[in-house]
Structure formats: C-alpha cells, structure tokens
Amino acid sequence: MKSLEKSKYNIFVFMRDMIRMIPFHAGYLLFVAVMNAFLPTVQTLAIAEFVNRVEGTYGGVLKVHMVLIPLIILLGIVIFKQMIPSVTNLIHVSAQNHLKTVLRNRFMKKQAVLQYRYIEDSESCALIYRVCEKAENRFWTGYRTVCNGIELVIKCVALISIVMQASILSGAAILLVSVPLFYLAHQTGKQNYALQKDAVEIKRRYNYLSTILSDRDHAKERTIFGYSKHIAKEYDSLCDYANQKEAAIEKKRYANMKSGSLTMVMLAVIIMLLLLPALSNGNISNGLYVGLVTSILNLVQGMSWNLAGVMQGLADINAYLNDVSVFLNMEEKADADVEPIKIPGFQVETIEFRNVYFRYPGREEYVLKDCSFVLQGNKCYAIVGKNGAGKSTLTKLLTGLYEDYEGQILINGKNLREYQYGELKWMFSVVFQDFVRYALSFRDNIFVGNVNENNGQLLERVIEKLELESCVQELPCGIDSRLGKLEKDGVDLSGGQWQKLAIARLLYSEAPINILDEPTAALDPKGEAKVYKMFWQVNEEKFTILITHRLGAARMADEILVLDQGRVMEQGTHKALLELENGLYKEMFDSQRCWYEA
C-alpha cells in the first residue's frame, strides 16, 4: 500500500479541524479545560487569603466582610465543579451527533473517489476500516484527551510557579519527576495503539463471522450445511483473542497509572517537607502553605488517575491521526465523482488492445501479457477463457478502473487515457458477476443505471424487452414495490429475476458499449444461455462484449476471442474455432457440450 504524503494530519491540524467542524462544542470543552486548569491555583490563593485573614484576627473579632471575597471565590469554584459535568454530558452527546454527520459525509466522499486499487487491497481496506469505523467517537475522544492534556500541563505549570516562589528545590522536584512520567505514559500509549491495531483487525474479522451467523443472506447455507457450530467456535476464538489483547492494554494502563500514583504520593510528601523551612522562616505564610499542600494533594490525585490515561490517549490519537493522514492522502481517481459526459455523435468503430501488460498492485505476476486484439464496432463479441485467464481484468482496464498498464488501449483510434473519465462513464455500461441487489424499489433498481434520466417510456420498453411485466404485476405495489428485506414490506426476487433487473439497468443507461461480465454465473448453463439469448435479441443494435467461461451463449456472438495465459490465443466465429484442430476453444466446448445438449 503506497501513501502519498502530501500533508500531515497532526494534532494541530486536528484541533483546528475540530474547531471548524463543531465550533461551539469544541470551544466549550477548551474553555472548561482552561478554567479547570487555573482553578487549583485560584483555590490555593483563595484558601491562603482566607487562612491569613482568619489568622490576622487571632484574639480579636472576626467580621464576615473580611473573609467574604475568598469565601465567594471558593463557593464559586464548588458550584462550577458541580455544574460542569452535567452540561458536559449534554455537549458530549450533541458533539458526537454533529461529528457523525460531518465525518461520515467527508470520509464517504473520500472513499468514493479513491483509486480502485485500494478497494482490492486488503491492507488498504483494513486501514480504511480503522479510520472510518466510529470515527466520531475517535475524534471526540481524541479532542477531549488533548483538552485534558492542556488542562494537566497548565495545572502543573501554575502550581510549580507558586511553589518555586517559596522553594526552588520543591519546584525542581516536581519537574524532575513529572517529565519522565509524561514520557513513560506517552511511550506506553504508542505501544497500546499497536496492540489496538491488532485488536481492531481481529474485530473486523469476527464481525464478518457474526454476519455469517446472523445475516439473512447466509441463512439457507447455514441451515443446509450446518456450519454454525464451526463458525461460532472460530468466532468465540477470535473474540477471546481480541479480549486478551484489550486486557493486556488495560493491564499496562493500570500498572502505569499505579506506578505513577505511588511516585506522585511520595513526591507530595517530599514537597510538603521541603516547604516547611520556607514556612518556618516566613518566606511563605501559613495560609499559603495550607493552600499549597491542598493543591499538591489534589494535583497528585489528579495525576495519579489522569496522567497515564491522558498521555496514553494522546499517543493513541496521534497514531490514529497518522492513519487518518495516510487515508486522506491516498491517491484519488481524477474526476471519479464527475457526472457522465455524453459525446455527441459517438459510434463505436474499433476497440483495440495493443501490446498490453498488466499486473495488480503488489503482485509480481502479470495477468495480461502482450495482449493484443481488435474489435470492430459492427459486431458483437464474446471473450471466453478459463478462470484466472484475465477476462474480468479486460473489463477493469477498458472502463478505466485501473490506469497503470503498459501498452495502449484505443477506442476509435484514440488512446483511452485521452478520454475524460466522465466520457468513459457514459460510454460503458457493465453488469458484473457480483452485481448489486439494491434494497430500493423495483423502479429505482433500474433508474440507478442512469440517475440523470427519468424516462418512463424507456423504462417500459426495457421491462417489456426483458419480459419482466409479469414480475412487476405480481409485486404488491407494482413497480414501486420495495425489494429486499431492509423494509418491513420488502419483497425478494428469484435469482433469475435479479439478473434480469441488473441487465435492465444496463439497457436503461443507453450506453453505446455494453459489457456482461459473467452476471449469470449462478444460473445453470441452459438457464444462462436462455438469458443471453434474450439479451442478444433486445440489444442487437448496441456494441456488446460478453465475458464468460461457459460457451453456450458465446455461440450467439458474431466473433469469439479465446483468452489464455494473459493473451488472446484464438479469434474467430464459433464455427471457425471448432474447425481448428487441437484448438483451445474446441477443447473447452467439447468438455461443456453435454451442458447444452438434451
């Protein structure tokens, strides 16, 4: 997986981004963090002033107005601390809802324009899953952690500044212990994120197994093959392994928290002892000593519980942001989200592959090797070959999904790379082997073939040509019936009906070049041949390429190309290819002849 380091999505960019996305929520949290950071210092000074004023009236009459201001300040601090958690909880929910909308929209747009090679790369898919899965939680938790870190640093600096006025040695002791603790917690956080990456990948795998065990699409095979116990056993094993990883993370966090806690308690005792000489010689007042001791104990308690968590959280968000940076800098397909661009007067004259070599990213072996052939625009073609011969790869290159091939691909003599991607979108319509069954209405399942066209007459013609009228009539709400089981009243179709619906999308697009890439592989050979025969009849005016490893439908093509070992080995009509002695096509057809003969 190759990352293009155009820019770094670091902590500072992240903070700026959060303030832009949710200015009120981010501003509130930052304000509370700064306020909480200065409260210990204000509390220390208020306690000192209160004790000093009470002490100043020793033997006399204490009047309320003499201690009113420090009391008001202390009361305000208590009220602030009591109210803020409830308000923060409301902000927490609201912020995540806002972030969910913004981030999912942003990340979905990014995924929509990625180079296609990332979609077929397991490492890239794992990274995309880590980045996009519950991104709003990661962003908000990360922002809270950064704010907590800011709060902790300000608390330490403010307290050290007061302590150093009384005893430089005490302030130096705080620094001497705090810096290593910060560093140790940060390093532990980096190690924890590495463990979390493994845990996330394991979760991705057991979530898939969970889908197999519970999803409706797997229900029939689950029942027939009875594999549930076996899959459940593997699911439990992965869950246990993920739990062990997370337990290891928690053990490390707890050990660091407790070790830091003991260190800080010892430091607090030492500082209190070091401040005694300053108290005895009058460098600090009794009130300030009491205030400092109170603040130091509060700081020790806070750092005992928060330091490890904050520093590990900062390391975690920093590592996560590195993943976000890689994701955001993944190479995009130029004009990937552009609308189809119609080429006026375009007609297919020739499609040519000229000495084309191609291998998938990260692979050493070539799928296509010196592949050359010419297709004429006035014929319909079938491309046949064994599994793995490179048939579907031809489709991916023709439609512009992959551009990093060697050699030339020409349409009407013009290099494929010279066409705009929007023009290629308009030019091609493809039904893939793994075509999508959209949980939309029957009508919308066809309309997605051309979302910019709302042509009722064309829709009727397509339905009529593919003999889908009876299917529509049987649906409870006709053409507007919801398909699939996403909706309560959703209706499922048979495999053959779904395949016809996928072909209907292709016809509705009215693209000048139609490609059928084994969309009927799930049908039996005779059923496949029947569907293709219907397609040839209703689409004879369009340039069509049929890709298949079964040869029943190939007989209806004007010309057949036989692909083997990455290149076209034979080309000709069905009759001509059968006449080739020891021909590859003849051998394949003879082995399948019984599929099509009664």
Question: pLDDT (tens digit, 9 = 90+) per residue, 299-324?
Answer: 666 665 566 677 778 878 888 898 89
Question: pLDDT (tens digit, 9 = 90+) per residue, 85-131?
Answer: 888 888 998 999 999 999 999 999 999 889 988 888 888 888 898 89
Separation of first and last alpha carbons in the chain:
51
H or E, element range at 368:
strand 368-376
Helix (H, G, I), strand (E, B) or coil at 385: coil
DSSP state of 218: G
Q: How many helices (H) and strands (E) does the chain have?
A: 19, 10
Q: Which CATH superfamily is 11-328 part of? A: ABC transporter type 1, transmembrane domain (1.20.1560.10)
Count of all residues that appear for the chain in the document: 598
Helix (H, G, I), strand (E, B) or coil at 347: coil
CB 237 within 8 A of CB 205: no
Binned at pLDDT 50, 70 and 90, residue 551 comes out as confident
373 vs 210, higher pLDDT: 373
Mean pLDDT of the chain: 80
For residue 595, pLDDT over 70 is answered with no
Helix (H, G, I), strand (E, B) or coil at 166: helix
The whole-number pLDDT of residue 253 equals 62
H or E, element range at 40:
helix 23-56
- Fold type of domain 350-596: Rossmann fold (3.40.50)
Bridge-partner residues for 351, per DSSP?
375, 411
Would you say the C-alpha torsion 280, 283, 284, 286 has a positive or negative sign? positive
- Ranges of CATH 3.40.50.300 domains, the chain: 350-596
Alpha-carbon distances of 395 from 243, 320, 341, 432, 518, rounded to whole Å: 43, 36, 20, 9, 11
Would you say the C-alpha torsion 321, 323, 324, 330 has a positive or negative sign? positive
For residue 473, pLDDT over 80 is answered with yes
Helix (H, G, I), strand (E, B) or coil at 562: strand
- Ranges of CATH 1.20.1560.10 domains, the chain: 11-328
What lies within 8 Å, CB to CB, of 331 at 6+ separation is 2, 4, 114, 115
Q: Which ranges in 57-167 belong to alpha helices (H)?
A: 64-112, 116-119, 122-132, 135-166
Binned at pLDDT 50, 70 and 90, residue 408 comes out as very high
Burial code of 539-569, b = ≥16 C-beta within 10 A, e = fewer?
beebbbbbbbbbbbbbbbbebbbbbbebbbe
CB 173 within 8 A of CB 273: no
Question: pLDDT (tens digit, 9 = 90+) per residue, 47-100?
Answer: 777 777 766 655 555 555 666 777 788 888 888 888 888 888 889 989 999 999
CB 34 within 8 A of CB 154: yes
The whole-number pLDDT of residue 327 equals 93
Question: pLDDT (tens digit, 9 = 90+) per residue, 383-406?
Answer: 998 888 888 899 999 999 999 899
Alpha-carbon distances of 560 from 308, 412, 515, 575, rounded to whole Å: 68, 20, 14, 10
Would you say the C-alpha torsion 529, 533, 534, 536 has a positive or negative sign? positive
The whole-number pLDDT of residue 1 equals 38
Cα 583–chain centre separation: 48
The whole-number pLDDT of residue 554 equals 81
154 vs 293, higher pLDDT: 154
Of 2, 23, 3, 19, residue with least CA distance to 11: 19
Query: What mean pLDDT comes out for the span 170-176?
Result: 65
What is the distance between the alpha carbons of residues 194 and 397, in angstroms, rounded to a whole number? 37
Percent of the chain with pLDDT strictly greater than 90: 22
pTM: 0.71
Query: What mean pLDDT comes out for the span 476-503?
Result: 84
Phi first, then psi, for residue 568 (nearest 5°) are -80, 115
**Residue indicated by tokens 């979530």:** 207
Alpha-carbon distances of 49 from 37, 165, 297, 509, rounded to whole Å: 20, 16, 19, 81
For residue 345, pLDDT over 60 is answered with yes
User: Tokens standing for 342?
Assistant: 């119609």
What lies within 8 Å, CB to CB, of 479 at 6+ separation is 441, 442, 443, 463, 472
